[in-house]
Amino acid sequence: MVKLSTRQQNSSPGLGARGIYESLREQIVAGVYGHDGVLPSARALAVELGVSRTTVTSSYEQLAAEGFVVIRHGARPRVAIKIADGKTREALHEAGEPYSLAAFGERLRSRAIPMRIPSKRLVADFRYGDMSASDFPTLAWRKAMNDAALRRPPKLFYDDPRGAIRLRAALQGYLWRARSIRCEVDEIVIVNGSQQGLDLCARLLLDEGDSFVIEDPCYPMARSIFEMTGAMAAPVDVDVEGIRADLLADVDARLAYVTPSHQFPMGSVMSIGRRQQLLRWAEEKSAYIVEDDYDSEYRFDMNPVPPLLALGGASNVIYVGTVSKTLSPTLRIGYVVVPRELQEVFAHAKRLTDRHAPTLEQEALATLLESGVYESHVRKARRHNARRRAALLDALRVEFQDTVRIEGAEAGLHVVVWFLDLSSSMATSFIERSCQLGVGIYSIAPHYFGQGLDLKCLGLVMGYAGLTEQQIGRGVKLLRNAYEGIL
């Protein structure tokens, strides 16, 4: 007899072929019919279940197509599979250790950064990287996407792996206007966000056993993606002038990853002296510099600082940019400006990775850049985030006064807040208590090598671009309650 599962019993009226097929398959795998047993005839099973013979026949045919039963004319269906040791279907699908992984897979499995899943239950989530949906230029983007969809080519085809020529030409002009970068269209590769750009750099420039220079503290996702190649990090301290390039003299590395225009997470700007030292070191060591210019559009104290690539003699700099911090992280559009000798290999690597970035989104972004809408939107977003920044700074001063020290507030979309009365060992209890009160906060410790074990006090990386001014104020008040609760 075919026994239906609770899910199937509660499904829509009238048991269909799929329900019968699933029940029979589960019972076959569970060994109900033995290793070579026979099943009811289509006629008998149809009578038993109150369905048509055609419905049962369809179920048996699907089972036969998948190799569960053998059907012979004039005979009842017979089980065609043997489940070793009589294991049930559920037991067969229990998660366990992988049979084998490549070295990359083993490194990823053992050292992967835990994923942070946003919670909808929080009053205020100060997670860095979130953006306000109300800032997104919905009408302009929708019109640009509609226009791109209506401009149908005579045939659909895989495009240039480097990206749409129209978008690369528009970005060429934008980078010159906004970042003082002179580059050729063919030096630009469109990627699915800056993370893919970093992935391409890691795979093309690093081998197992190589060394790479990285700031300490740093962007953990960049560190992770370079380490997954088997390369070894050479962390270099950061101060108010950026990475300590004066410490690089004896460091042999094939690559240096830096955030010179706005160091992540501390917010410092690399001084011109340090920039020149870094460029000289890279030239002497025949190393490439990967410059991550992730949120350069947001400076609140002065005009944006020109990137390394805009300096003379920066022929070995790979520039990585993104629209995740200006439009939306959901768009997954970034760009890499590569030296001429790397154009071809980056294009081939991009082609092997995913052929090319989505074409409609590229065309829509090109429209926004060509029309001036993008730059107008950036100016508007900068004003909105300046107000959010002011709301956060004001709230922190009111609630915590001189018990906190704030760094990196001059630019970007986050600040670093040091709680002078709390030790770094109290981070877990502070985070948990804040979450209970409805506030999401994030420790700065994971950004340091050694997990910040030598930090003198507790630090938080607090993003604000995804919150309203009211949410920020309410969130900081609740944060004060959590702070008092663990003192």
Strands laid side by side in the 334-337 sheet: 188-191, 334-337, 317-322, 288-292, 255-258, 211-216, 232-239, 242-243
How far apart (Å, rounded) are the C-alpha atoms in residues 98 and 323?
37
Bridge partners (DSSP) of residue 199 are none
How far apart (Å, rounded) are the C-alpha atoms in residues 6 and 12?
12
Q: Are 486 and 433 in contact (CB under 8 A)?
A: yes
The pLDDT of residue 454: 83
Burial class (CB in 10 A: 0-12, 13-18, 19+), 340: exposed
What is the tens place of the pLDDT at every residue in 24-46? 998 988 888 888 889 999 999 99
Kindly tell me if the per-residue pLDDT of 284 is higher than 60. yes
Kindly tell me if the per-residue pLDDT of 408 is higher than 80. yes
- What pTM value is reported for the model? 0.86
For 247-396, strand residue ranges (E) read 255-258, 288-292, 317-322, 334-337
Residue 12 backbone phi and psi in degrees, to 5: -60, 150
Kindly tell me if the per-residue pLDDT of 145 is higher than 90. yes
The pLDDT of residue 2: 59
**Inter-axis angle of helices 373-400 and 359-371, nearest 10:** 90
Q: How confident is the model at residue 146 (pLDDT cuts 50, 70, 90)?
A: very high
What is the tens place of the pLDDT at every residue in 152-189? 888 999 999 999 999 999 999 999 999 999 999 999 99
Q: Which residue has the higher pLDDT, 52 or 118?
A: 52
Q: Are 381 and 135 in contact (CB under 8 A)?
A: yes
What is the tens place of the pLDDT at every residue in 412-447? 999 999 999 999 999 999 999 999 999 999 999 999
Q: Are 212 and 206 in contact (CB under 8 A)?
A: yes
Kindly tell me if the per-residue pLDDT of 141 is higher than 80. yes
Lowest-pLDDT range, 56-65, 97-106, 376-385?
97-106
Q: How confident is the model at residue 9 (pLDDT cuts 50, 70, 90)?
A: very low
The pLDDT of residue 319: 97
Kindly tell me if the per-residue pLDDT of 6 is higher than 90. no
Q: Are 339 and 315 in contact (CB under 8 A)?
A: yes
Q: Are 124 and 439 in contact (CB under 8 A)?
A: yes
Kindly tell me if the per-residue pLDDT of 11 is higher than 50. no
The pLDDT of residue 85: 46
Q: Fill in the amino acid letter for 401.
A: Q
